[in-house]
Amino acid sequence: MSRTLYDKLVDAHKVCDLPDGDMLIYVDFHIMNEYTSPQAFSGLDQKGLNVWRPEAHLAVIDHVNATRQRDPHDDASKLLIENLEANCSKHGIAFYGLGDQRQGIEHVVVPEQGLVVPGMLIACGDSHTTTYGAYGALGFGIGTSEVEHVLATQTLRYKRLKTMQVVVDGDLGPGVTAKDIIMKVVQVVGAGGANGYAVEFAGSAIKTQGMAGRMTICNMAVELGARAALMDADDAAYRMAAGRAHSDLLHFDTEEWSADPGAKYDKVFHIDAAQIAPLISWGTSPDQSVPIDGTVPVVTRDMTPKARAALDRALTYMGLVAGQSVQDIPIDSAFIGSCTNSRIEDLRAAASVLKGRKVAEGVNAIVVPGSTFTRMQAEAEGLDQVFREAGFDWRPESGCSMCLAMNDDIAMDGERLASSTNRNFEGRQGRGARTHLMSPAMVAAAAISGHLADVRTFRTEEG
């Protein structure tokens, strides 16, 4: 029988069925950060347990560290960082700490260091672990008690998800990126539309994306509510994986990790790539987005009272007026970073818009490369100069930073940001902060303009 890629990956990792209908699955690789791991290690200690396969784990500092300088900005973050390092050295687990060239945001670091190849199952105490689906690997986020379980046993209790296929076919228009594809998917399927599903992406517009674009899409599929996101592993995925693969992973077979033709999904969505415009989010949920040449939505007759209330609340929080043109929205800050959009390809895309231009007066513009390695690569290409000359603050350290404001990069009450990140919930980038999600090139366009702006007009001026 034809199988989905998701089912193939789950079947390949199943250890056994459990009496209650769940199963036990084997975890090939487990990643930890300083924020979601401490209780797991305390749990092991209390039970007197050891880590069963230390070599199958990696710990990275990314969530709370400062990016203006290497030293922790406060005692609480210092403690979290030191704790993880101590736990790793005690249990013999690889640790990419501050100052290590391999350090950075976990989901940027893992592919960069060649730690993912098609067919793997990867777990991490972080929802954006779906990123590895770009390689045909099953990645998903786990909770703290599960982190403890996987440290002790290398397995997890698992319930099979339903499957959804999202097919994006056709050619993308100018200025339309992987970020716009996934923002469109979130808009069509809805922010909770994939709750309980594993999503498989297919179609020509997905296949023509490079690995960075594919990671952006799988990464942000979490905002659909998806617990897993996958793409068939094609030549590009195998080439990238093989070119970088860590020596420990070279034994992984190159079996075909793709969905069988005719595989059946519980739900299917079709999206025409030609209909996707560069998008910006206007509201407080990632599915509240409109094309950059559009307007902020207005109440319509067919809206339920609940939908009206949600619209009103989002407009009030965001300080916007229904029907206003989105390009008239002025910004205070621009942020390029996060596991969705801080890879070298993202930095190049933003730099190509910034080259020879200046950030508008009064706009605070920050760029945090996704990893130390990425930063060094960008500096070798001279991208840091482009950002600096434009007036961006080029951060010397890597981490999540202003994606979720757990370090000292906290937006102020009412501050409006053009952001290459993935979440725009109330308070996400600081209490009262107003986030507009978009692609890195669009953040650059907004930074230069001082208001949300259409990246396509910059391309025309350039060309």
**Which residues 121-150 are close enough to bind ligand IPM by CB under 6 A?**
126-128, 141
**Does residue 30 interact with ligand IPM by CB under 6 A?**
no
The count of other CB atoms within 10 Å of the CB of residue 52 is 13
Q: Which does 224 bind (CB under 5 to 8 A by kind): ligand SF4, ligand IPM, none?
A: none
Q: Which does 141 bind (CB under 5 to 8 A by kind): ligand SF4, ligand IPM, none?
A: ligand IPM
- DSSP 8-class letter at 333: E
Cβ proximity to ligand IPM, 176 vs 403, nearer residue: 403
Pairing of strands 14-17, 279-281: unpaired
**Which residues 336-395 are close enough to bind ligand SF4 by CB under 6 A?**
338-339
Q: Which helix (H) or strand (E) holds 296?
A: none
Judge residue 370's burial from the number of C-beta atoms within 10 Å of its C-beta, 0-12 exposed, 13-18 middle, 19 or more buried: buried
Give SS3 for 198. strand
Q: Shortest approach of ligand IPM to residue 218 CB, angstroms?
A: 14
Q: Which residues lie across from 365 on neighbouring strands? A: 334
Q: Shortest approach of ligand IPM to residue 63 CB, angstroms?
A: 6
Q: Shortest approach of ligand SF4 to residue 128 CB, angstroms?
A: 5
The sign of the CA dihedral 370, 375, 381, 386 is positive
**Does residue 39 interact with ligand IPM by CB under 6 A?**
no
Sheet of 333-336: strand order equals 393-394, 364-367, 333-336, 416-419, 434-437
**Does residue 404 interact with ligand SF4 by CB under 6 A?**
yes
Q: Is 142 left (phi over 0), alpha (psi -120 to 50) or beta?
A: beta
- The rounded distance, in Å, linking the Cα atoms of 219 and 343 is 13
Q: Which does 51 bind (CB under 5 to 8 A by kind): ligand SF4, ligand IPM, none?
A: none
- Applying CB under 6 A, the site for ligand IPM has a residue count of 8
**Does residue 182 interact with ligand SF4 by CB under 6 A?**
no
- The rounded distance, in Å, linking the Cα atoms of 227 and 195 is 7
With a CB cutoff of 8 Å and minimum separation 6, the contacts of 100 are: 372
Instruction: Identify the residue among 187, 371, 374, 422 touching ligand SF4 (CB under 6 A).
Output: 422
Instruction: Identify the residue among 400, 417, 444, 447 touching ligand SF4 (CB under 6 A).
Output: 400
Q: Among residues 267, 295, 270, which one has the least CA distance to residue 280?
A: 295
Instruction: Identify the residue among 63, 184, 214, 227 touching ligand IPM (CB under 6 A).
Output: 63
Cβ proximity to ligand IPM, 126 vs 146, nearer residue: 126
**Does residue 433 interact with ligand SF4 by CB under 6 A?**
no
The sign of the CA dihedral 137, 138, 139, 144 is negative
**Does residue 105 interact with ligand SF4 by CB under 6 A?**
yes
Q: Which does 36 bind (CB under 5 to 8 A by kind): ligand IPM, ligand SF4, none?
A: ligand IPM
Q: Which does 434 bind (CB under 5 to 8 A by kind): ligand IPM, ligand SF4, none?
A: none
Q: Shortest approach of ligand SF4 to residue 195 CB, angstroms?
A: 18
Cβ proximity to ligand IPM, 141 vs 450, nearer residue: 141
- DSSP 8-class letter at 274: G
- The rounded distance, in Å, linking the Cα atoms of 269 and 160 is 21
Cβ proximity to ligand IPM, 36 vs 153, nearer residue: 36
Residues that bind ligand SF4 (CB under 6 A): 63, 105, 126, 128, 338-339, 400, 403-404, 422
Residues that bind ligand IPM (CB under 6 A): 35-36, 63, 126-128, 141, 404
